[in-house]
A and B are shown apart, each in its own frame.
Chain A
């Protein structure tokens, strides 16, 4: 019986206060849409920076007269470092073949032995490049260590900044969305404070008063979140997923997995629902004190 009361009360109130319901739903939808947009942007930034960082490697050029033993020892030692993901030995000949494939006109006149052999090190975290390079520097058989130096450092700074900015934006937007939704609910409740006053006077418990309002808030928030999710996913499907056809280089940045999209959708619904519930119960608190 109680469930029936709560349900019919909720439906009735949503219908009778249609304008307020529409206002709440669209507020939630717009706030969450912004949040969703930033989330998608965040995924893009993350993709881009991860992609860049994966390309960061440390090149250890070996001396021409480095012995087999020295090379072996170095490779073993480097591969033991925790920061290092993978080490490949590139012989002089392999280096020459690669070089002449990349720059055929420059390779004329060079022989196999003109290019030094090297170790190519892939890192677990691009931020460790300088440290790893420093440690290898001066080891027996090593001629020179290169890791891209300043450019890498600059890139890493930019990446960190981009990540911080998108994170900050989503936090700010989340707070703004929460505030907007809570405020809309408060207006809806304010319009019905007489009703709440009477409920209190005839002896309704606070939870009895609260539940229909919270269900209304939850309902409005979830519908709004659903609208936002549809727009985000639709936008991705119509626009973003088609861009790589025209601009293939965007593919690694824009080709979202369904897991990533589900995460965004889940976040929007979760934030929407939570804020709807919390917003309505917070907004009610003032009116329940009598």
Chain B
């Protein structure tokens, strides 16, 4: 589903974010990317959504080489990759329903589909009663649920989450993880970058540890790791 071959990513000023990374994530996997700040976690996720291009090496997503993907195809790639962020990225002037519907409308889904799917997905994330609230009327956990709903409403093949629990307390985080786990069980590949030891240790899923842009550990059913 995701494959990196000898990927190097340098940012301006000779900052090497990823250093010769090769890895593969297969369909339906749930993968944690762990490591300290600046180890390259976010860069990895941005390569998958083609927000960044590698300096050298190849990135394959859903069987396509992103290096040879023309610019105008990028939006179609992103429809297959849902994104969840630490800061939710909800539109403050739209209601919960509108925020999720937005994700479908801007890819041109007909109104009938929007009217049917949005309440369904909001029910799934446990916000079926709060369709007409605005984001600032919700708790952090609820906002993140909306954001997950928006990322998943289009049934993407892959869901990438960049520190989705970074702004949430542990109890709320557990709720979000249950949600991601359910999404994973529908066959969606989930890749999640995190700092959160407790979550990684309790889920016991594949762990990829990055340090200074290199993969230093790749362990199935792993824990956050020792010494970090």
Contact = CB atoms under 8 A, between A and B. Distances in A.
Interface in B61-97: 72, 75-80, 82-83, 89, 91, 93
B106 A16 contact: no
Contacts of B75: 200, 203-206
B89 A203 contact: no
B105 interface: yes
A238 interface: no
B110 interface: yes
B49 interface: yes
Interface stretch (A58-66, A80-88, A191-199, A229-237): A191-199
Contacts of A195: 91
Contacts of A202: 78-79, 82-83, 102-103, 106-107, 150-151, 154
A2 B89 contact: no
B106 A208 contact: yes
A168 to B, nearest CB: 41
Contacts of B107: 202-204, 208
A16 B93 contact: yes
Nearest to B89: A198
A197 B106 CA distance: 12
Contacts of B111: 1, 4
Given A2-B108, A208-B108, A209-B106, A201 B49 contact: yes
B66 to A, nearest CB: 14
A10 to B, nearest CB: 13
Contact of A201 (B76, B80, B83, B105): B83
A5 interface: yes
Contacts of B79: 202-203
Given A202-B102, A205-B72, A194 B89 contact: yes
B169 interface: no
Interface in A200-258: 200-206, 208-209
A151 interface: no
A198 B154 CA distance: 14
B14 interface: no
A290 interface: yes
Contacts, number: 54
B64 to A, nearest CB: 14
B51 interface: yes
Contacts of A290: 51
A200 B78 contact: yes
Interface in A1-22: 1-2, 4-5, 16
A115 to B, nearest CB: 83
Contacts of A200: 75, 78
Given A1-B111, A290-B51, A204 B106 contact: yes
A57 B79 CA distance: 76
A197 B102 contact: no
Interface in B10-57: 49, 51
B106 A199 contact: yes
Nearest to A17: B93
Contacts of B78: 200-203
Given A202-B78, A203-B76, A197 B89 contact: yes
A204 B103 CA distance: 8
Contacts of B49: 201
A276 B102 CA distance: 26
B83 to A, nearest CB: 5
A290 B102 CA distance: 19
Contacts of A203: 75-80, 106-107, 154
Interface of B: 49, 51, 72, 75-80, 82-83, 89, 91, 93, 102-103, 105-108, 110-111, 150-151, 154
6 closest cross-chain pairs (CB), A and B: A204-B106, A203-B78, A203-B79, A202-B103, A203-B75, A205-B75
Given A202-B78, A205-B72, A208-B107, 15 more contacts: A2-B108, A4-B111, A198-B89, A198-B91, A199-B106, A200-B75, A201-B89, A202-B83, A202-B150, A202-B154, A203-B77, A203-B79, A204-B106, A209-B106, A290-B51
